[in-house]
Amino acid sequence: MIIANAEWEVMRVVWAKGQTTSGEILEILKQKMQWSPSTVKTLLKRLVAKGCLQAEKKGKRFIYSAKIDEKSSMDRQTDDLLNKFCQRQHPALLEHLLHTSSLTLTDIEHLQNVLTHKKKHAAAEIHCNCIPGQCRCKENMEVF
Ligand SMILES: [Zn+2]
């Protein structure tokens, strides 16, 4: 399921807090998002409808908790990002991410191990996975 950017801001608070209320979410995000209470309530309603959150009524207010896992949601967001680009652009995208990310020596060593493993199973070439007309790959040009 697609989680919109504004909804993602809310999900991050819920994951960090475990259980939270619309008031707490508003308080935490007030600097960053300048939302009104009704905006937060609308987003929460939407996330419950999508099955991302569950709402439990306690007294007069609702307590929200996550129904989806943070790590797999992060992976899904990354997959969505990669799917926006031609597979042939993925190496350039990864290079950009490496340049812009803060990495510890441990992180770098871990990534080097990943690359060493990838090297053993390297693809001879990367195939374009775009629909015709959405990229300038040679493969697509040859089809038309
Ligand atoms: Zn392509």
Over residues 27-81, the pLDDT tens digits come to 999 999 999 999 999 999 999 999 999 999 999 999 999 999 999 999 999 999 9
Residue 79 Cα to ligand 1 midpoint, Å, equals 16
As a whole number of angstroms, the distance between CA 105 and CA 120 comes to 23
Instruction: Say if residue 32 is exposed, middle or buried (CB neighbours under 10 Å; 0-12, 13-18, 19+).
Output: exposed
Write down the pLDDT at residue 139. 55
Domains in the chain with CATH codes: 5-66 (1.10.10.10), 86-144 (no CATH)
Residue 141 Cα to ligand 1 midpoint, Å, equals 10
Res. 2: pLDDT tops 80: yes
8 Å CB contact between 3 and 53? no
Model confidence pLDDT, tens digit, residues 87-119: 999 999 999 999 999 999 999 999 999 999 999
Residue 142 Cα to ligand 1 midpoint, Å, equals 12
As a whole number of angstroms, the distance between CA 130 and CA 83 comes to 9
As a whole number of angstroms, the distance between CA 25 and CA 9 comes to 9
Buried (b) or exposed (e) across 134-143, using 16+ Cβ within 10 A?
ebebeebeee
CA distances from 85 to 22, 27, 90, 135 (A): 36, 36, 7, 9
Residue 92 Cα to ligand 1 midpoint, Å, equals 13
Query: How does strand 19-20 pair with strand 53-58?
Result: unpaired
